[in-house]
């Protein structure tokens, strides 16, 4: 089956849909048995599509898990109420007191917060590493290192990591590799082909795709599935069937949406590249983005999210740029059909291993599905406001 056909048919097994086109939303806190032997059998099948208790899953959530496994080439998937819950669930499923974690310095900021606060309190030590470290990660692996966490591209600053080199070094020392693969999506980066053991998604972004639900999921190969499921179940993680439905619905159109986001963003980025105010573009498909060559080698596409760095700009000028946009709304998050703009203050304060030396401010765009000429006109006016105040 070719990829497009697989995407259009995934998560739609008749055992979930009963013949409807879309998998229905099952609202159920419990699922009842007719016989004692059925009840007993449910224990054995709890992670295998068995129906017993709402928190363990129901046909809607199982259909989404099946779809994620299909698309990412995984053996198991566990769902969480948000992307961040998926990150905490994955790490806490495997790290114990006394363990050490290696964490990419450009990781999603709340992931950094987890390391510095809760994990520290639990006796789990974190070392942040330069995301461009590649095979050099070996030097940082200790006897008690349990997890190397990668995020590629990094949040906001967009460095692409050499994941095969990091995975190779990790596996030589029996360390697991977890990846936040939200940007890559299950379509543009295949984590298990590059040595990743556990792939994490904020389904909130492109998978849901319409900015109307929070969803997290972790996919894994068989070797780690039981421990991930057991620990996450012990912590009470589950996803509401309504949000699972929205994620499934997003998956069926994910590929065409990504293509249009990619096309629009590339056009905007090329336009920005020629602006005199812009120092450089941090888009994985651009040579100016650190690790561009790894994106070229390992990814099959890009999407609507990228950043750019200005040559100069004080806070008042950046504020003038950001305020008064017509189409780019100011807001966190990304992956919906709409365009968003954001700036990040004090990046250098978060970069403890690799630093951040850009002189001008960094602006992050999520380029949506609007007409790209309208978006460029919006940015053109933004630069006019910027230059007036600068």
Ligand X SMILES: *Cc1c(COP(=O)(O)O)cnc(C)c1O
Write out the residues near ligand X by the rule CB under 6 A. 82-84, 108, 155, 180, 182, 202, 204-205, 214, 216
48 catalytic per annotation: no
Q: Which of 16, 108, 129, 237 is catalytic?
A: 108
How far is 185 from 258, CA to CA, in rounded Å? Answer: 9
Strand 145-151 vs strand 100-104: parallel, antiparallel, or unpaired? Answer: parallel
Smallest distance from ligand X to CB 374, Å: 25
292-297: long-range contacts, CB 8 A cutoff, minimum separation 24? 292/160, 294/152, 294/160, 294/161, 294/162, 294/163, 295/153, 295/160
Smallest distance from ligand X to CB 298, Å: 17
Dihedrals phi, psi of 32, to nearest 5 degrees: -95, 160
- In the chain, what is the greatest distance between 2 CA atoms, to the nearest angstrom? 76
55 catalytic per annotation: yes
14 catalytic per annotation: no
- Bridge partners (DSSP) of residue 53 are 30
The encoded tokens of residue 187 equal 């379509």
Q: Give the list of residues 6+ apart from residue 132 with CB closer than 8 angstroms, or none.
A: 159, 161, 162, 290, 291, 354
How far is 158 from 350, CA to CA, in rounded Å? Answer: 14
26 catalytic per annotation: no
| CB nearer ligand X, residue 82 or residue 339 | 82
How far is 204 from 210, CA to CA, in rounded Å? Answer: 9
Smallest distance from ligand X to CB 50, Å: 27
Smallest distance from ligand X to CB 118, Å: 15
| C-beta atoms surrounding 12 within 10 Å | 17
* β-sheet with 340-343: strand ranges across: 278-282, 305-310, 362-366, 340-343, 329-330
Sign of CA dihedral 256, 258, 259, 263: positive
The encoded tokens of residue 146 equal 């349990």
Give the three-class secondary structure for 344: coil
Smallest distance from ligand X to CB 63, Å: 20
| CB nearer ligand X, residue 77 or residue 278 | 77
| CB nearer ligand X, residue 19 or residue 236 | 236
Smallest distance from ligand X to CB 155, Å: 5
Smallest distance from ligand X to CB 216, Å: 6
| CB nearer ligand X, residue 83 or residue 134 | 83
Q: Which of 105, 130, 180, 378 is catalytic?
A: 180
Cα angle at 69 between 67 and 75, to 5 degrees? 150
Q: Which of 12, 13, 53, 55 is catalytic?
A: 55
Cα angle at 133 between 130 and 137, to 5 degrees? 105
| CB nearer ligand X, residue 155 or residue 354 | 155
| CB nearer ligand X, residue 277 or residue 338 | 338
Residue nearest to ligand X (CB): 83
| CB nearer ligand X, residue 82 or residue 167 | 82
Q: Hey, which residues are catalytic here?
A: 55, 108, 180, 205
């Amino acid at each position: 089956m070719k990829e497009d056909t697989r995407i259009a048919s995934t998560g739609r097994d008749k055992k979930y849909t009963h013949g409807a086109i879309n998998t229905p939303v099952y609202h159920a806190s419990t699922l009842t048995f007719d016989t004692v032997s059925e009840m007993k059998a449910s224990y054995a099948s709890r992670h295998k599509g068995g129906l017993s208790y709402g928190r363990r899953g129901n046909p809607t959530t199982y259909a989404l898990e099946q779809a994620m496994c299909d698309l990412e080439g995984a053996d198991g998937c566990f769902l969480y109420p948000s992307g961040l819950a998926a990150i905490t669930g994955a790490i806490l499923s495997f790290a114990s007191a006394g363990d050490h974690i290696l964490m990419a310095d450009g990781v999603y900021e709340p992931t950094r917060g987890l390391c510095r606060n809760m994990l520290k309190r639990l006796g789990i030590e974190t070392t942040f590493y330069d995301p461009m470290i590649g095979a050099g990660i070996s030097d940082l692996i200790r006897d008690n290192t349990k997890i190397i966490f990668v995020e590629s591209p990094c949040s906001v600053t967009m460095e692409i990591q050499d994941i095969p080199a990091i995975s190779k070094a990790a596996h030589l020392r029996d360390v697991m590799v977890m990846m936040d693969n939200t940007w890559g999506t299950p379509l543009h980066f295949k984590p298990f082909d590059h040595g990743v053991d556990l792939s994490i998604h904020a389904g909130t972004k492109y998978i849901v795709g319409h900015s109307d639900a929070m969803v997290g999921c972790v996919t894994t190969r068989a070797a780690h599935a039981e421990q991930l499921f057991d620990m996450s179940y012990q912590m009470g993680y589950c996803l509401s069937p309504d949000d699972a439905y929205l994620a499934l619905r997003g998956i069926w159109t994910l590929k065409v949406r990504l293509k249009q986001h990619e096309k629009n963003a590339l056009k905007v980025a090329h336009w920005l590249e020629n602006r005199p105010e812009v120092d450089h573009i941090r888009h994985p498909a651009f040579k100016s983005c650190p690790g561009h060559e790894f994106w070229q080698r390992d990814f099959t596409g890009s999407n609507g999210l990228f950043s750019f760095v200005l040559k100069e700009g004080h806070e008042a000028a950046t504020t003038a740029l950001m305020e008064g946009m017509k189409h780019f709304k100011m807001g966190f998050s990304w992956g919906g059909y709409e365009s968003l703009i954001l700036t990040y203050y004090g990046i250098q304060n978060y970069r403890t291993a690799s630093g951040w030396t850009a002189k001008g401010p960094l602006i992050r765009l999520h380029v949506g599905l609007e007409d790209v000429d309208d978006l460029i006109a919006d940015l053109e006016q933004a630069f006019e406001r910027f230059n007036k105040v600068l």
